[in-house]
Every structure is written in C-alpha cells, then in structure tokens.
Amino acid sequence: MHPYFSSFLPTALVVGFTLSAAHAQTISRPSATLTVAEQAGSLNIPLTIANAGAAASTVQVSLQALGTATAGQDFTFAAPQTITFPAGATGSQTLTIPILDDALAEEAEYFVLRLQNPTNATVAAGATDILVYIRDNDTPTPPAARNLALSLVQSYQNGTPFSGSTQINSAEIVSYDASTKRLYVANSVGGKLDILNLANPAAITAVASIDIKAYGGINSVAARNGLVACAIENATPQANGSVVFFDQNGVFQKQLTVGALPDMITFSPDGRYVLTANEGEPNAAYTADPEGSVSVIDVSGGVGSLTQANVTTAGFAAYNGQAAALRAQGIRIYGGLAGAPSTVAQDLEPEYVAVSADSQTAYITLQENNAIAVLDLATKQITALRPVGYSDHRQPGRSLDASDQTTDVLLANWPIKGMRQPDAIATFEVNGTAYLLTANEGDARDYAGFSEQVRLGTTSTSAPYVLDPTVFPNAALLKNNNVLGRLNVTNKLGDTDGDGDFDEIYAFGGRSFSIYTAATGAEVHDSGNLLERVTAADATYGSLFNASNGYGEAPVRKNRSDDKGPEPEGVTTGRIGANLYAFVSMERVGGVLVFNINNPASPVLETYVNNRSLTAGTGDLGPEGIVFIAAADSPTGQPLLLLANEVSSTVAVYSIQTATVTATRAGQVAPPLLAYPNPSQGSTVRLSRAVSGTLHDLTGRAVRQLVATDQVATTGLAAGLYVLRATDGATSKLVVR
C-alpha cells in the first residue's frame, strides 16, 4: 500500500447534473463512512433508491483523489462504475469492492467514492461521498523490550479529591527531597502545600499540610536540601506572583516577587538558582495581558540572606516588533483582541523550565507559542527563541485517531499538522552531547473574549471554519463527524493566502514526545503515533484508549480522540546502571511509558504501566508531575518513579526493577511461588520472591506482564481467579476480590 496522499487537487469527476422536477427518485448511500478489515476479501456497499420510477435509474460511482489507499494494491476499482436500478425496483443495488490483503504493516488506510451523474434520479443532498476505511491486519503490537519494569508500591490519597461534583483537593506537582526523604505536594485546588514522609514508600504518612492561600495560589513546588520553594500566583493572576520559601517542616522563611503567574518552579542542578516559568496569561476578557517571563533567584547565600535583589526576571521585550519574523520561523504570535493585539513579550507564555547539567543554560517551553526559549544563566538574558515544528500527520508513522465517533481505533494519515506545543521539558546528556526531551501535549487559548479553538466541522455562521475548496474538494466529507468533523483545530493558523478560508489544518498537540539537540534545537526524534499505538494495543488498558480522566465517571474509550489524544504531559529522565531512560506520562489515558534513550535518535520502548479502573472513575487520574528518584537517593535503595495525579489527588509510587532474574537450570524444580494476601485485599499483591512472568485470566488472556518483581498490581482487574506463570516454571493461583 502506498502510505502517502496521491493528491488534494480537485478531480475532474465532479457532480454535475440536471433533472426534471417531475423526477422524485432519490439515490442514497448507506453512510458517510464504512470500515472493512483488510482480510475481508470484499466490501459490499448497498445503494438504495426511494420512489422508483417507471423507467430505470442509474448513478455513476467514481474514485476520488482523496485517500491513502491505492487502487490495484489495496482494493480494486479500475474505472467509474454505473449502478442501475431497474424500472419500478425497490430496495437496494450492491456495489462490490474487492479488498486486497497484502503483508505490509501500515496505518489504517482509506479511499473515497463519489455518487455522481445520476439519470432518472437525484442523489440525496449532501450525501454524495463515501469514505471507506481499510483496517490493516499486519501492523504488530509495538514491541516492548521489558528490560525494565515498574511495580506500583502505593497510590497515596492526598485528601478527598471531590465533594460531589466540586474538586476540593489535588496533587498537581510533587517534589522529593533526598536529604529528608520527604515529598512536597502542590495541592493547588485545596490551596495547600502537603508534606509527606516517604521513608517507607509502601506506607506513606502525612507530616503536615500548610495553608498557602494567605500567600496566593500554589502552582508548583521544588525542594532541595531542606529548602522548599513554592510558585505562587497572585490573587489577581495578571499581577506579579511570588516564590515563597519554607523549611523542611513547612515553616515560612521568605517571600520574593517574580513575574506574572509563576506556573512552574525548579532548582538548578548545582542548587545555586531557583527558576520560575511565569506564564503571564491574559484575563478572561483578554483586556489585561501581562508579559511572560522567567525569574531567576540566586539562593547560593542561603535563604536567610535573600532579598528582592537576589531576583532577576528575564523578559522578551527585546523581541517586540519582530512578530512577523517569528511567525515566519514557525513561532505562534497571535494573541490579543483585534483592535489591540498583544506584543511579542505579552504573547509568549513560559510553561516549564529545565536546566542544563552544568547549570549554565535554562530551556523554557512556550506551549501556546509552539516554541522553546533559551536563557543564559550567567547573563540572565534570553538568547534564543526556537520553533519546535509541527507533526505532519500525512507522513508514515505520524497517523492519528481523529474522531471520537468511530467504533474502531483508526490511526490514519490526514492532511493535518499537529502543533506540538510542548508542556514539560527535561534535559539529558549522552556521550557529552546535551539533548532536550519534550512532552507534546498541546494547548488552546480559549477565553471568554478570545478563543482559537473550533471544531473542524463547525456550522457556526458567526465563526465558520471554511476549508479552501480548491485544496479540499472533499471538504464536506472531511467535515463529517466520523471523519475529521469533531477534531478541535485552531482558527488562528492555516489561512496561507489571507482570503478567509483555510488552506492548511492545524490541530492541537503532537500526541508524541520529541528529542532535540540542546545546542541548536535540531530535531533528533519524534515518537509520532507510538503513544497511541501502545495504548491502543495494551492487553489490559487498551479499552481505555484515548479515554478522559473524569473522577467518578466510567471511562469512555476514544472520547479524547477528537481533541489531543493521550495528551503527553510530563517527562523526566533517569539513569540506572549503564542505561538512560525517559519516562513519559499521559494526562488523559493515564500511566507512564518508559523508553531506553541510550541512542536519542532511536528510543526503545521498555514498558507501559497504568493504575486506573477499567470501568469506574477511580485509581490514579490525570498524571501531572513526574519525578525519578535514583537508587542512591531512594529510601529503599531501589530506583523509584513518582506520579502526581491531579484529578484523583493521589501520589503514585512505582519501584523500578531491571530484568536480572536468573533462569532455573534444566532439570531443576523452580522454588515455590506464593502470593499474599490471597484473596487480594488491596491494589497490590506481594509474591514470595521476585519473578518474571505473565498473569492470565481463566480464558488464558494475558492481563499483566511481570519483570523481576515481587508484587502484582491488581487495580483494574475484574474479580475472579487468575494464574501467574513464571518464566522459571513456577505457577501460583491468585484470587482478586
């Protein structure tokens, strides 16, 4: 099959016919879209006629240029075909399309047929086109190396998350201080800084909860060597915010002013600086738009000597007047009202900060702007603005599931560009070269006074989204909800010739993670559709594919496909032995994916874990903050991964194991394998020894993969009997309540 688009130019096969008003016969298609398995052999399409006349009626069926499937390779349709309805006929006539089964692993492909040139009839208004999806049967489940495994130790409930439908607590960001073995949680909804004891990760205990509302609204927290720094937004978010310092017990130390709406805070690796990304969002009416900035606080002299003189806030005023040049580079500058557009400094909105290993350079994501800023920490000046590019969803490996209305997961190529719009960013080094890792979540400016978010298929007369008829001759079909109609897109980008319609389609988020060289910003790798492929194919959590994370709500498969898919939110890296790993959390579907990034140009999938119910809105929902704890800093001596889950207000702790289990020698009986408590009484069952193996349900279906671990996570498993089969030959039965 040919994975590229053949053309989006207008076809010569257009609808053009006239009928006498006396003709009342109407020919209809079965639906706008049909799906067929590649191995089906053929597809039968029933075409119906209403009010058949005394004379025969005909309709011509032609192949359109829009499509990714290739005639002669993927299906057979050599030339326009004529379907005849005999005189007086009722019911339908069948158009049969042979489907060709090749052995290529591909995205879901599609072709488009058009009903045209009817005689003695009309084609139902607005129903001329049929898009046929071909579901590939050769694409394998993305292989996971499984040289590393994550096992849930505990999901700690950080306060009751909801009272009725009102959220009252959250766990948005978590920070770990190795010197005290404590966790510091930014409970933004509850207006608190929560302090937890991680000395025993399996039994986290609360230390204190500090009411932060007197200082403002807490957005983020960072802790190091007994010093805790909180990013606090002003009660009027468009005014300057602050950083509030506490000691390890939550006792107030200092409060210093930074830029407007500090959204993220971090220490530099050497501990000298505390940095905040000051987002500077406008108010709802877009009548007040503060400048985005990055504040740098020099804490090298200790918290006791801190004054406002230790704060330097770097802004973007030097780029004012360069909006056109920045747009030409691919940086989105588009905010403000029509009569009062934002300056560049106002438009740029810092989201997240990562600092180089040598503490000399900071890299700041500008999420809404689809860019990264570079800050020299010696001069405290912004030295560069870099676009992060777009994900071209027409390309192989860059497909997406674009509709929440189709039953099947259909990862297909479309004429769409995904604005990567990175949220979290991390730095790492391989062989002396520095790299950046981004989570390409996506975000829209959507305010009462200004909104760029619109459905591609909108029929709004006040704010229409009109596709250029020359570029998109099948626009009516693309706007169908089973195609692209439900997809959220921006109305601030894509009108390349300024004539009021859209020549290019830009959707929010890349649904991926990317790796760039830190020195130049050159793209090294983008994961493309891998996150959606992994989550769709997962034996346990595939039923949650692109599901949202509503608390107390049964998950609905694919209900975020029309938005930003899995929404990669957080990233971090960690070294274990000779290997370097990237951890990528997904805000909507939940959980975390792990990749070996020893070769940044070719990351290797290790594993995917999740901890949420398959049937109810419980478990860990909405992972936001992510922290890797190296073995040397861990209270257990084993690497840990922390996920702060904003919606469920939980902090999940995972232990990390490498696959080092010694196989049983030939002829040697495997030691007994016991599970306890059994029947299960919580979310985790312990094993009598560490094993690798597979947990099966009574149908034989694999529901969990274990790698060198002494515990089994049972959250999300239906009540019943399961069998654990270890690779050394041992087996154990487990009852899940």
> 231 vs 296, 365, 498, CA distance in Å?
12, 17, 41
What tens digit of pLDDT does each residue of 651-670 get? 999 999 997 543 444 445 56
482 exposure class (CB count in 10 Å sphere: 0-12, 13-18, 19+): buried
Does pLDDT of 305 surpass 80?
Answer: yes
Q: How confident is the model at residue 691 (pLDDT cuts 50, 70, 90)?
A: confident
Mean pLDDT of 522-545: 97
Question: For all residues of the chain together, what is the average pLDDT?
Answer: 93
Model confidence at 715: pLDDT above 90: no
Sheet holding 311-315, edge to edge: 262-267, 273-278, 293-298, 311-315
Q: In what order do the strands lie in the sheet with 506-508?
A: 390-392, 417-419, 506-508, 488-490, 453-455
C-alpha distance from residue 596 to each of 138, 580, 583, 628 (Å): 26, 6, 9, 14
pLDDT score of 11? 35
- 16-25, 216-225, 665-674, 727-736: which range is least confident on average? 16-25
Which amino acid is located at 128 in the chain? T
Q: What is the pLDDT of residue 636?
A: 94
- Per DSSP (E only), the strands in 268-404 are 273-278, 293-298, 311-315, 336-337, 340-341, 350-355, 361-366, 371-376, 381-387, 390-392
Nearest one of 239, 183, 175, 244 to 212, comparing CA atoms: 244
Q: Which residue has the higher pLDDT, 244 or 2?
A: 244
pLDDT band for 719, please (50, 70, 90 cuts): confident
* Cα–Cα dist 76/60, whole Å: 16
pLDDT value of position 660: 53
> Over 80: is that where the pLDDT of 700 sits?
no
Tokens, residue 528: 């493309």
CB atoms under 10 Å from CB of 2, counted, come to 16
Q: What is the pLDDT of residue 668?
A: 52
Q: Residue 306: what pLDDT?
A: 98
The predicted pLDDT at position 688 comes to: 77
What's residue 681's pLDDT? 74
Q: What is the mean pLDDT of residues 593-616?
A: 97
In the predicted structure, residue 160 carries a pLDDT above the cut 70 = yes
pLDDT band per the 50, 70, 90 thresholds, residue 725: confident
Report the pLDDT averaged over residues 448-452. 96
The pLDDT value recorded for residue 671 is 72
Q: Please tell me the predicted confidence (pLDDT) of residue 22.
A: 42
229-243, 350-364, 668-682: range with lowest mean pLDDT: 668-682
pLDDT value at residue 1: 47
Which tokens in the block code for residue 5? 């688009």
C-alpha dihedral sign at 346, 349, 354, 356: negative
Task: Choose the weakest-confidence range: 225-234, 354-363, 394-403, 706-715.
Answer: 706-715
Instruction: Give strand pairing partners of 712.
Output: 685
Question: What digits encode the pLDDT tens for the residues 278-289?
Answer: 999 999 999 999
Q: What is the pLDDT of residue 684?
A: 82
The mean per-residue pLDDT over the stretch 594-621 comes to 97
pLDDT computed for residue 53 by the predictor:
82
Pick the residue with more confidence: 509 or 51? 509
DSSP letter string, 302-321: -GGG--GGGEEEEE-GGGTT
pTM of the model: 0.87
User: Cα(172)–Cα(170) distance, rounded to whole angstroms?
Assistant: 6
Give the C-alpha separation, 258 to 280, whole Å: 11
- Reading the block at residue 197, the tokens are 């004891």
How do residues 376-389 score in pLDDT, each as one tens digit? 999 999 999 999 99
Over residues 335-351, the pLDDT tens digits come to: 999 999 999 999 999 99
Using only C-alpha atoms, the chain has a radius of gyration, in whole angstroms, of 28
Confidence of residue 701 (pLDDT cuts 50, 70, 90): confident
pLDDT in tens, 215-241: 999 999 999 999 999 999 999 999 999
Q: Which of 6-10, 21-25, 358-362, 439-443 has the lowest mean pLDDT?
A: 6-10
pLDDT at 677 over 90: no
Q: Supply the pLDDT for residue 728.
A: 77
Closest CA to 352 of 423, 435, 262, 419: 423
Distances in whole angstroms, Cα of residue 312 to Cα of each of 221, 293, 475, 534: 19, 10, 51, 43
* pLDDT score recorded for residue 670: 64
Q: What is the pLDDT of residue 727?
A: 79
Q: Residue 18 above 60 pLDDT?
A: no
Mean pLDDT of 696-715: 79
